[in-house]
Amino acid sequence: MVRVAGVQFRNAGRIYYFDSSAVGDVRVDEHVIVDTTRGQEVGRVVRVLDEIPLELAAESLKPVKRRALAVDLAQMERYRLREKEALARCQEVLKEHRLPIKLLKAEYSFDGSHLLVYFVSEKRVDFRNFVQDLRKTLKTKVELRQVGVRDEAKLMGGVGRCGRVLFCASFVQEFEPVSIRMAKRQDISLNPSEISGVCGRLLCCLGYEDEYYREVKKKLPQVRDLVKTVHGSGEVRAINALKQSVTVELKNEMTVEVSADEILEVTGPKRKGGR
């Protein structure tokens, strides 16, 4: 029977799938050694499956080489500690080349044979000479990878306006499209400061929560609908999707908040020209 391990190489990173049949029953949170395009890497098992996911059925999964040993994890940590120093040296070389780019982060491969440097730039840049000098200075293979502003926030981390760790850095594996319509559906102020993240783009959490609001609002009447409730008949003035309730102005001009269960009937939308 095929055993499949879903492996992440960084927190909230994309999950890659490998055939773990040859190494026995791996468990979630175990570290394993696998082959990647950057050579051998250490990853953390986050999922264990008894069959190949449908979307990968046509692909040939690479095997898990072995479980990571304590010495492997120690080696990985040694290179992690050297990454800030490597980035600083990259910054020094960048000053000499005067390129219009911003270096973000450097990541060593498991064995230190490969250094991946992330950067952002508003322009197309020819950095071939820069890379050559980096390889001479660091004496290792160097790859530069350009990312967008959302990826920059995910890589660098931080705290959002809600006071919690950035959603993209702690949860999002792959970015999905987010639209202004989602903010409208969630009754959030369309003030840019209210709906934008530290990257300047629409908040990723809007997309994550959108399905909940879609489903709840299907069960509730819309603003200005006429309804009959256990408290009497009236017009819907506001919707609270989180509480799954609506505020109704009754015919006696009193307002009451009622849950979906307390709405006996939606008699229809208010006619134009009506009170």
Mean per-residue pLDDT, 219-229: 93
b/e per residue, 141-162, with b = 16+ CB within 10 A?
ebbbeebeebbbbbbeeeebee
79-135 pLDDT, tens per residue?
Answer: 999 999 999 999 999 999 999 999 999 999 998 999 999 999 998 889 999 999 999
pLDDT, position 270: 65
CB contact set of 7 (below 8 Å; sequence gap of 6+): 15, 16, 17, 18, 32, 34, 43, 44, 45, 46, 64
pLDDT, position 269: 78
- Residue 271: pLDDT band with limits 50, 70, 90: low
pLDDT, position 210: 95
C-alpha–C-alpha distance, residues 30 and 71, integer Å: 14
The per-type count for the chain, helices as H runs and strands as E runs, is 7, 13
Question: Which of the two residues, 269 and 201, has the higher pLDDT score?
Answer: 201
Query: Per-residue pLDDT for 250 more than 60?
Result: yes
pLDDT, position 102: 96
C-alpha–C-alpha distance, residues 259 and 263, integer Å: 7
C-alpha–C-alpha distance, residues 35 and 65, integer Å: 7
pLDDT, position 51: 82
CB contact set of 204 (below 8 Å; sequence gap of 6+): 150, 167, 168, 172, 175, 176, 178, 197
pLDDT, position 57: 65
Mean per-residue pLDDT, 19-27: 90
Every domain of the chain and the residues it spans:
4-68, 74-147, 166-216, 221-269
25-84 pLDDT, tens per residue?
Answer: 899 999 999 999 888 899 999 999 988 877 776 567 899 999 999 999 999 999 999 999
- 264 within 8 A of 228, measured Cβ to Cβ: yes
C-alpha–C-alpha distance, residues 226 and 249, integer Å: 10
pLDDT, position 81: 95
CA nearest to 134, candidates 142, 126, 144: 142
149-193 pLDDT, tens per residue?
Answer: 999 999 999 999 889 999 999 888 889 999 999 999 998 999 998
pTM (predicted TM-score): 0.80
Q: Which CATH class is domain 221-269?
A: mainly beta
Tokens of 45: 């098992």
pLDDT, position 275: 46
Instruction: Report the Cα–Cα distance between both ends of the chain, in Å, rounded.
Output: 69
Listing DSSP states for 98-165 in one string gives T-S-EEEEEEE-TTSSEEEEEEE-SS----HHHHHHHHHHHTSEEEEEE--HHHHHHHH--B-TTSSB
3-state secondary structure of 58: coil
pLDDT, position 59: 67
C-alpha–C-alpha distance, residues 204 and 12, integer Å: 13
Q: What percent of the chain has pLDDT over 70?
A: 96
CATH number of the 74-147 domain = 3.30.300.20
